[in-house]
Structure 1
Amino acid sequence: MEYQQKQSRTQLALYTTCLDDMIAEENSVRIIDRFVDGLDLQAIGFGAMAPQGRPPYDPADLLKLYIYGYLNRIRSSRSLELECARNIELIWLLGNLRPDHNTIARFRKDNPKAIKRVFRHTVSIAKNHELIGATLIAGDSTKLRAQNSKKNNFNLKKVARHLEYIDKKLEEHQQELAKADGDAKEEIRKLAKNRERQRERYVRIQKELRADTSTENPQISTSDPDSRHQIVRGTITEVCYTAQTTVDADHKLLIDYKITNQNDKKAMGGMLRRAKAILGTNSFTALYDKGYHTGSEFKVANDIGVDTLVAVPGIGRASQAPDPAYNAEHFNYDPQQDSYRCPQGHELTSNGNWYRARNYRFKQYRTKACKNCPVRNGCTSAKQNGKILQRSEFTAFIEHNARRVTEQPDIYKKRQALVEHPFGTIKRQWGFDHIITKKGMPTAGADFGFIALAYNLKRLIKLGWKPEIRAKHRTNILKTLLITVKRSKDEFLAHISAFMKIQPSYRQISLISQIV
């Protein structure tokens, strides 16, 4: 049987070719090249790399390298270093530059804000090409594992368990020392010293935790200090970061992102403010799931004039009445009288005082009619005071949201299809389910910034967008062609008008030369 014949590795080529001819005109690497060349990197905030004995690398080249890497699922600085030496597309893109992995890693670590500005530039491109509708957006978050194991994450309860275990072991060692002799005694002393060193470490962590008064349940992560132990779904937990994202409905393009280490409760207000600034309007509707259902955030949405549709969570078991017909939502509020009327027709009034909970103020409403009400046992389980309703300062905004959700169920159903599209691409298709960087939230933000940037560029390319060649580059191309064909400028322009919209390759230059 005959097979396809390979070319000999030692065969010399009769006709030489340039590197540019090895990259197809429709190759996405050319789009990356033109996209970065069209940016004013100094204005965006990229500084030159600090020289270490020789001239630094151009930030444009390192940015091209990272965008290419993330678009092709390569994030590690060492992997990118390796690809620079063997990947023909990267050799073309970087002009055969080969930065080492330390230089590559520092570029990402040192430029989180500039990377976000490049991402914002993709949003501007989408707006300029009318790919963002700015009428319906959706927000959601996803958890991304940090470079910190559960073993190296501590809270007060966990540290107390470790100290209790160590104290127990130290007591056992003391008892063993009393009975041992010779080499056995020396071995036990070594074990006891190791336990004491461990104890000192946990005592130090315990002091740091007790000194942290910023949160109710403080944590310390020793490998990546800003990461936090959070619930991912159900009962599954991870030490991770939270990526808050906002998606436009028209083409599922990301318009905003932010890396945090908190849950969704207090995130919606900031997301809406940023969305308003980015889109330049507040005439859009925002969709969120029930994790964002927080009264103070609804007030923020109302203050900036944005309509929200946030899923209404179910009533907690502690707030349920014995008979669901007497739950709080069945009591009618009269804003004129500042009172409630129960299903039995009794009026519940307030003494006018505001009481303070952890994050909000509220009033209490009650009635003396509860004492002799025939349905009291179905309305409340309280033995003495009867039914007491609480109304927070944000209840009116919560009720307005609930009304919008009820009136527009078809719009809210679009939420999951919008927000899960980027997450499905990023986490399931690309496999980016973790943060690759360490040592803090800014570097984690830089990592996710490149992910978001790559996602938007991928979407833009699929939607048919192609960056224009800058005027400076057009001039360089014309000069090259003039030298090649050796003709006057007027005659030259008459023959290459068809090539003005694209960057000619070596093959095209040769063709023009023959025509002229």
Structure 2
Amino acid sequence: MKYQQGQDREQLHIFPMSMEAAISSDNEVRMIELFVESLDIKSLGFKVDHMENGRPAYHPKDLLKLFLYGYMNRIRSSRELEKETRRNIEVMWLLKGLNPDHNTISNFRRDNPNAIKKVFRATVALAKHFNLIGGKLLAGDSTKLRAQNSKKNNFNEKKIQRHLDYIENKLGEYEKQLAENDGDKEKEQELKQQIETQQQRKQSYENIQKQLVESGEVQVSTSDPESRQMITRNNITEVAYNVQTTVDDQHNIPIDYKVTNENDSKAMGDMLRRAKVIVGNNTFTALYDKGYHTGSEFEKAAELGVEVLVAIPAVAANAPDEAYNVEHFRYEAAGDYYVCPQGSELHTNGTWYQSKAAPFKQYKTPDCKTCPVRELCTTSIKNGKIVQRNKYVEYIEANKIRIQHNQNYYRRRQAIVEHPYGTIKRQWGFNYIMTKKSIKRASADVGLVFTAYNLRRILNIIGKEALRCFLVDFLMYIVVFWALLEHFWRMQKNQLQVSLEKSSCLEPKYLLI
């Protein structure tokens, strides 16, 4: 039977193939090359001024190209990227044969979180150029990405105390056994060793407890200090970071991201503020799920002039009969009182009470004492029905009306914002943070993920040829611009020289200036 035969490895070729010829003209690695070359690396914040002595540094553009290629091809490990520089013809072409080691590669990602975010912004600007950003309907949400910190190395006060109590019990057992020892030297030595080990563990947990008290945090992680244990789905928890994302509906392109270690309740206002700057106006509508339903955030949205549709969470406290839930009590703004379904007026003493959520006033009525339907309205024996009204209720009610009038509009939220998460976490497998030690380093990793996603998305939508033509033209514009600028400064320098030659400043006493 005949089979396809490969070439003889020892065969010499008269016309050997160059790396340039080995990379096809439509290979996406050429798009990465053109995209990075179109960036003003220095203005983005990458360090380009290095000391001349010693071994020359690698140019930030080369390392950025390597990372973008890696993330677009599901490679994030610096050691794996180092391997690719020696065995992958595409990477060899991209880096022109350079072989940075894994420490250099890793340090570049670690040291440039802010500059990487600006590279992501450049992909958003590129999408805007091709009219891929509608800017009319945005959706916001968050996703949890596991941190490089196990649950075992995450502690709160309750968990620390449980460990300390266990150690105290073990120490008591060992000391009792030591006291009852009948002279067995070997056993005595073993018990003393166990006591010393438990004392060391106790000291370790006490140090963590002290760190927890001094920081004022409710939990602390020892491997990645800024990561936190969070609920990822249902009642499953992971030590993770929470990544806030804003996505445009036209082509499901993320326009913003932020890595945090907090939940969603206070995130919406900041997301809207940044979205307003990115889009360039406040005429868009933003969609969020019920995790963002917070009064103070509605107030921020109103101050920004942005219309938001936020899912309404279920009522926390229901009456025995739902007909007597708070939403069925009518508020009279003129007199600042409520009217219950039975027609009684609930008044306030005007005092604002403080809570973690928001300041609120209480409304109640003495009519509850003789109300025939009291058992249907409240379970309180002493006070009767008490209605709380917080300072943001007007914004909350306005959102409720918008949701009721735009149910079909709101249903688009999940399809918009979950699209990037599905690709990044399920297809690419990027469901954890590659770096550790801080939010800044995690942000660099996430920034490269979203930059790679946007580049891939733009390539898939407009095609490689359209993107190549634009980037080539843009690079030509940059070359011409700098050539003209250099010519301008040369002319200015010549004109200055002529002026100096005609000036009396050429006297010896001025020549040292």
Both proteins in one fold, TM over 0.5: yes
Q: Tell which deviates more after alignment, 336-345 or 28-37.
A: 336-345
Cα deviation for residue 212 of structure 1 reads 2.8
Cα deviation for residue 144 of structure 1 reads 0.4
2: CA distance, partners of 1:307 / 1:296: 15
**One-letter amino acid matched to 1:241:** Y
1: CA distance, partners of 2:292 / 2:309: 10
2: CA distance, partners of 1:137 / 1:239: 29
Contact 1:142 1:243 in 2 (8 A): yes
Contact 1:332 1:341 in 2 (8 A): yes
1: CA distance, partners of 2:320 / 2:478: 75
Q: In structure 1, which of residues 209, 212, 219 is the aligned counterpart of residue 212 of structure 2?
A: 209
1: CA distance, partners of 2:441 / 2:50: 19
1: CA distance, partners of 2:151 / 2:5: 55
Correspondence 1:189 to 2:192? yes
Q: Number of aligned pairs? A: 470
Alignment correspondent of 1:395: 393
What are the superposed Cα offsets for residues 318-343 of structure 1, whole Å, 9 maximum, x if unpaired?
A: x2111100000001112122111111
Contact 1:23 1:89 in 2 (8 A): yes
Cα deviation for residue 206 of structure 1 reads 1.1
* Cα 1:49/1:222, change in 2 over 3 Å: farther
1: CA distance, partners of 2:186 / 2:365: 79
2: CA distance, partners of 1:186 / 1:357: 56
Alignment of 1:257-272 (within 5 A): 257-272=257-272
2: CA distance, partners of 1:99 / 1:28: 22
Cα deviation for residue 350 of structure 1 reads 1.6
Alignment correspondent of 2:221: 221
Contact 1:139 1:288 in 2 (8 A): yes
Correspondence 1:248 to 2:248? yes
Q: In structure 2, which of residues 407, 415, 418 is the aligned counterpart of residue 417 of structure 1?
A: 415
Alignment of 1:61-460 (within 5 A): 61-178=62-179, 179=181, 181-213=184-216, 215=217, 218-316=218-316, 319-460=317-458
Alignment correspondent of 2:32: 32
2: CA distance, partners of 1:152 / 1:57: 36
Contact 1:272 1:301 in 2 (8 A): yes
1: CA distance, partners of 2:55 / 2:214: 46
Alignment correspondent of 1:481: none
Cα deviation for residue 17 of structure 1 reads 2.6
2: CA distance, partners of 1:306 / 1:473: 37
2: CA distance, partners of 1:37 / 1:76: 24
1: CA distance, partners of 2:295 / 2:56: 55
Contact 1:49 1:58 in 2 (8 A): no
SS of match in other structure, 1:259? strand
SS of match in other structure, 2:455? helix
**One-letter amino acid matched to 1:162:** H
What are the superposed Cα offsets for residues 453-504 of structure 1, whole Å, 9 maximum, x if unpaired?
A: 00100111011151422128989xxxxxxxxxxxxxxxxxxxxxxxxxxxxx
2: CA distance, partners of 1:431 / 1:448: 13
Correspondence 1:17 to 2:17? yes
Q: Tell which deviates more after alignment, 200-209 or 388-397.
A: 200-209
SS of match in other structure, 1:351? coil
What are the superposed Cα offsets for residues 13-35 of structure 1, whole Å, 9 maximum, x if unpaired?
A: 12233211111111110000000
**One-letter amino acid matched to 1:275:** A
SS of match in other structure, 1:256? strand
SS of match in other structure, 1:143? strand
2: CA distance, partners of 1:281 / 1:439: 37
**One-letter amino acid matched to 2:340:** C
**One-letter amino acid matched to 1:444:** A
Q: TM-score, length-normalised on structure 2?
A: 0.90
SS of match in other structure, 2:143? strand
1: CA distance, partners of 2:360 / 2:171: 52
Contact 1:48 1:56 in 2 (8 A): no
2: CA distance, partners of 1:194 / 1:83: 45
What are the superposed Cα offsets for residues 63-115 of structure 1, whole Å, 9 maximum, x if unpaired?
A: 00000000000000000000000000000000000000000000000000000
Cα deviation for residue 3 of structure 1 reads 0.8
Cα deviation for residue 384 of structure 1 reads 2.1
Cα deviation for residue 49 of structure 1 reads 8.0
1: CA distance, partners of 2:28 / 2:246: 26
1: CA distance, partners of 2:76 / 2:346: 61
SS of match in other structure, 1:258? strand
**One-letter amino acid matched to 1:80:** L
What are the superposed Cα offsets for residues 273-295 of structure 1, whole Å, 9 maximum, x if unpaired?
A: 11001111100111000011111
**One-letter amino acid matched to 1:39:** L
Alignment correspondent of 2:493: none
**One-letter amino acid matched to 1:159:** I
Alignment correspondent of 2:459: 461
2: CA distance, partners of 1:116 / 1:383: 57
1: CA distance, partners of 2:367 / 2:244: 48
Q: Tell which deviates more after alignment, 464-473 or 367-376.
A: 464-473
**One-letter amino acid matched to 1:402:** K
Contact 1:49 1:57 in 2 (8 A): no
Contact 1:134 1:279 in 2 (8 A): yes
* Cα 1:128/1:472, change in 2 over 3 Å: closer
Identity between Structure 1 and Structure 2 (%): 53
1: CA distance, partners of 2:454 / 2:58: 26
Contact 1:48 1:57 in 2 (8 A): no
Unaligned 5+ runs, structure 2:
481-513
SS of match in other structure, 1:185? helix
**One-letter amino acid matched to 1:310:** V
